[in-house]
Structure 1
Amino acid sequence: MKRVQVVPTWSFRDSEGNQLNPQLFSLLGAIHETGKLTAATSQTGISYRHGWNLLKTWAAFFGLPLVEMQKGKGAKLTALGEKLLWAEQRVVARLEPQLDSLASELNMEIHRALEGVSPLIRLHASYGYAVALLPGFSEKIQLDLQYKSAEEALASLNRGVCDVAGFHVPVNGRAGGMSEELYETYNRHLKPRVHKIIKFITRRQGLMIKPDNPKQIEGLQSLVKKDVKFINRQKDSGTRALLDELLSREGINSQQIKGFDDEEFTHSAVAAFVAAGMADVGMGVEAAARQFGLDFIPLSSEYYLLVCHNRTLKQEAMQRLLDIIRSEPFHQAVGKLPGYSPDDCGDIVTVDMVFAERN
């Protein structure tokens, strides 16, 4: 079945009502990547003349050039060109979970209108690169994927609003970074006699930094340097909880970190923020760092887990979801994500086994 995607587009309009089509963004991105207008136009599938005219039209619109042409050296984005490119990428990264959730709702309605409707599974999950792969493998089920914080997802499961919830915990339990507060939060929602845990993936979390590490960031202790600007995740995210615990273990006062109160809402949004030069370092998964050409300092590994009621395991839709995450094609797709591993993906364990290492 054809699946609908929802992507944001820009519309530029000046005070006189003049408006431009935002086709330029793909060209700016290609110029940033290749350093040559000829290669950029070829990569974006437009003629050199059309690409040149786009640059001239937009330069006239803004009153400043977006690309600097250097004889014998190719093309380079100006400061304004870079600002536009990174602004577009930050917006896409920030809206990604909401747009994916909307696309899931649209695809559900389309699917219901077709004959031979397949079984439905409602998955509320913390946003991540691996879980975002699932819609592309869900031809045999109706997957209603809605992105929530880990605690919101678990609360939805207990209210019967979803069938499966996704959340993540540090590897090796408490020793790996699970604070007493995080443990109590999960313990409040997870009931050993009611729920079963499905192992999903393992992922690396760490510091995302600029290439060549100009601020000489070596670890968490470097975050308190006066010339280092940090970008954080929102307070209800698992990444923020992990960071808070790691800082506590190293005795670092978060109030000494410049930018600690500045927040973004996805791993990719944090990476885009750093790539745009608006911060020197952020916390997130390795896949986000590599996506935006950043270097990565690993700090901790996490299990991303799925949880459902015992009775849900017997349902056809759940069995099909398990078939998907246990399949070799899905494992190969996860394996292509930097810092991700599908080890034990699809194994079913008890709630007690997940937290056993804390005791």
Structure 2
Amino acid sequence: MQIEVRPTLIVNTKVDGRASVDLIWLSQLLKDIGQGSSLVVASKKSGTSYRGAWGKLNQVEAELGMPLIIRTKGHGSELTEFGNFLIQFIEDMQAEHLKHDAQYHDRLLKEIKKIQKSESVRWKFFSSSDSVIQKAAGEIQGLELKIAGSGESLERLLSNEAHIAGYHVSDQDSSKAIYQRLSKNNIEIYPVMKRIQGLIVKKGNPLRIRTIEDLIGKKVRFINRQIGSGTRLLLDNLLMEEEIDPSDLNGYLHEEFTHSAVANAILADKADVGLGVKNIALENGLGFVPLKDEIFFVAMHKEMAAQPASSKLIRKIRSASGETPGYKAVSLNRQIQDWL
């Protein structure tokens, strides 16, 4: 994109309906005269006729009440003190502008790109964190993905703040309850993939973590997911099933917002273990202890379901999940009938 930011200096006049005069243009005309050019030659270099240049000079002089050139018959024209001052003033102004030109230029381009991006977005997709979802959504033009917990994504959809919501559940009873609530609000639900959640641990699993019970105690540093995320809900359900008090986990209150952030914390030795999906552990060279299969759904209002972008998104998610370790594509409701 070629954009130049330039300063302007203009004299406006209401006399005889004359147009304004660009003093930047005029200063170059004066400079040529000051360097020995006649008004005829200077006007040609400026792209204006002799009569036009003469008229603009007279117009500015009349408006400012100051002469710019001294005309001596047989000796051409010379610049007045004010004429020389005006040239120097404009040169100084332009030099000062150049100091900040890049700043203004970058600010303008940044804002243009920001607005272009916002205007190109037609549909908002709130979804739980998942690399397959992010990959598929990034390939759909007009779709903007916002990462949020499963619960928040569904609430955004129900309040019409989102066009599409992505959420995951790990038990059939919760899945059925969500399905019933969404159906009552004329929302379509599509199962798209099954994925494995488990414990992401350091390479080689040096602490020999195998179960939820192994997280108890100060020795193991745990890292949690944020309240409202499906993964946090899964952990709380697992702790409840095993009758484990959350406070027994060293790091239960230490939260991250994505599976990748959990993996990065373990890689940086800020934690020993966290709950997440298998493919993130594999991508980061970490160990993984499987705990639970869960179903990932995409939900949307019926009007959105009629958009070609929606079916394209679902196809891409299913296709990508079929090629990713720890995932399996789900394309038919009857494959998970007990969850609906």
Quick one: which amino acid aligns to residue 320 of structure 2?
A: A
1:115-151 deviations in whole A, cap 9, x for unaligned? xxxx93321212211110124422xx41122222222
The 2-side partners of 1:285 and 1:154 are apart by 21
RMSD: 3.0
1:41-52 alignment to 2 at 5 Å? Answer: none
Question: 1:28 aligns to what?
Answer: none
- 1:272 paired with 2:264, answer yes
- Structure 2 residue aligned with 1:342, among 311, 325, 329? 329
Of the two, which has the highest radius of gyration?
2
Q: 1:279 to 1:193 in 2, by over 3 A?
A: closer
Quick one: which amino acid aligns to residue 275 of structure 2?
A: M
The 1-side partners of 2:315 and 2:146 are apart by 21
Contact 2:195/2:326 (CA < 8 Å) preserved in 1? yes
1:169-222 deviations in whole A, cap 9, x for unaligned? 11x514xxx4xxx876x4795234612101222111000111121111111110
- Alpha-carbon deviation of 1:303? 1.0
Quick one: which amino acid aligns to residue 211 of structure 2?
A: G
- 1:289 paired with 2:306, answer no
- Structure 1 residue aligned with 2:116, among 106, 109, 122? 109
1:316-348 deviations in whole A, cap 9, x for unaligned? xx3333134325xx645333432122231xx57
- Alpha-carbon deviation of 1:353? 5.7
2:183 aligned counterpart, secondary structure? coil
Question: 2:308 aligns to what?
Answer: 319
- 1:221 paired with 2:213, answer yes
Sequence identity percentage? 32
The 1-side partners of 2:333 and 2:309 are apart by 14
Question: 1:200 aligns to what?
Answer: 192
TM-score (norm 1): 0.57
Contact 1:286/1:296 (CA < 8 Å) preserved in 2? yes
Question: 2:245 aligns to what?
Answer: 253
1:43-82 alignment to 2 at 5 Å? Answer: none
Question: 1:308 aligns to what?
Answer: 300
1:217 aligned counterpart, secondary structure? coil
- 1:133 paired with 2:125, answer no
Contact 1:155/1:189 (CA < 8 Å) preserved in 2? no
- Alpha-carbon deviation of 1:112? 4.5
Question: 2:234 aligns to what?
Answer: 242
Quick one: which amino acid aligns to residue 120 of structure 1?
A: R
Bigger Cα displacement from structure 2, 121-130 vs 318-327: 318-327
The 2-side partners of 1:340 and 1:150 are apart by 18
- Alpha-carbon deviation of 1:159? 2.0
Contact 2:201/2:288 (CA < 8 Å) preserved in 1? yes
1:58-95 deviations in whole A, cap 9, x for unaligned? xxxxxxxxxxxxxxxxxxxxxxxxxxxxxxxxxxxxxx
Quick one: which amino acid aligns to residue 132 of structure 1?
A: Q
Quick one: which amino acid aligns to residue 172 of structure 2?
A: G
Q: 1:151 to 1:226 in 2, by over 3 A?
A: closer
Quick one: which amino acid aligns to residue 131 of structure 1?
A: I
Bigger Cα displacement from structure 2, 150-159 vs 186-195: 186-195
The 2-side partners of 1:215 and 1:337 are apart by 28
- Alpha-carbon deviation of 1:287? 1.6
Contact 2:223/2:252 (CA < 8 Å) preserved in 1? yes
- Where does the alignment leave 5 or more consecutive residues of structure 1 unmatched? 1-104, 114-118
Q: 1:226 to 1:195 in 2, by over 3 A?
A: same
Q: 1:354 to 1:319 in 2, by over 3 A?
A: farther
Question: 1:72 aligns to what?
Answer: none
2:131 aligned counterpart, secondary structure? coil
